[in-house]
Amino acid sequence: MDPMRTLGTFRELEHLSDRLNRFLTGQRPSNARGQEETMALADWAPAVDVIETDGEFQIRAELPGVEKDGVKLSVEDRILMITGRREQEKEEKGKRYHKVERAYGSFARSFTLPDTVDDQKLTAEFKNGVLTVRLPKSEKARPKSIEVTVT
């Protein structure tokens, strides 16, 4: 048997065991692997864009078919969590689905906030199926231009 394949299998088993233990004990992920964990426990993960300007970061998440009340934002220990749920349409009599490609169920994305972000001033807007989270930079992190005078 290939030793590298065996090592990969053991890592997968270790990862699975770790996930199961955290699930059963109710522990939240606390390391870099934890960000992967959040997505692994969700049914799907929305596509996002992360944009930086001089004054802020923006996170834009595509959430078509999700109601505003179906989205939750939280910040804890400099981790921004976007979670929620998209419900699947109820099957109606006389309708047959031949193909379902859209994901349904719970979703989650997590982002580690840089120290330059003032997480007390976070704002969010939900419009046309797109969630935009604005993360203003603290005043000390914003670039300042200083005019140089010649004497």
The full set of domain ranges for the chain reads: 1-30, 43-91+99-140
Among residues 55, 48, 103, which one has the least CA distance to residue 80? Answer: 48
- Listing DSSP states for the chain in one string gives --HHHHHHHHHHHHHHHHHHHHHHHTPPP-SHHHHHHHHHHSSB---EEEEE-SSEEEEEEE-TT--GGGEEEEEETTEEEEEEEEPPPPP-TT---S---S--EEEEEEEEPPTTB-GGG-EEEEETTEEEEEEEBPGGGS----PPPP-
83: pLDDT strictly greater than 70: yes
Least confident span in 17-21, 25-29, 61-65? 25-29
The residue-averaged pLDDT of 18-41 equals: 54
Mean pLDDT of 25-46: 58
Q: What is the pLDDT of residue 16?
A: 64
Distances (CA, A) of 34 to 19, 48, 115: 9, 18, 19
Average pLDDT score over the chain: 79
pLDDT over threshold 70, residue 8 = no
| Candidate from 8-17, 30-39, 76-85, 97-106 with smallest mean pLDDT | 30-39
Is residue 4 pLDDT above 70, yes or no? Answer: no
CA 87 – CA 79 distance, rounded (Å): 26
Look at residue 15 in the predicted model and tell me its pLDDT: 62
Query: Across the chain, which distance is largest between two alpha carbons, in Å?
Result: 84
pLDDT digits (tens, 9 = 90+) for 97-113: 888 888 888 999 999 99
pLDDT of residue 132: 97
Q: What is the pTM of this model?
A: 0.65
Q: Is the pLDDT of residue 7 over 60?
A: no
Average pLDDT over residues 17-24: 64
- Domain 43-91+99-140 fold: Immunoglobulin-like (2.60.40)
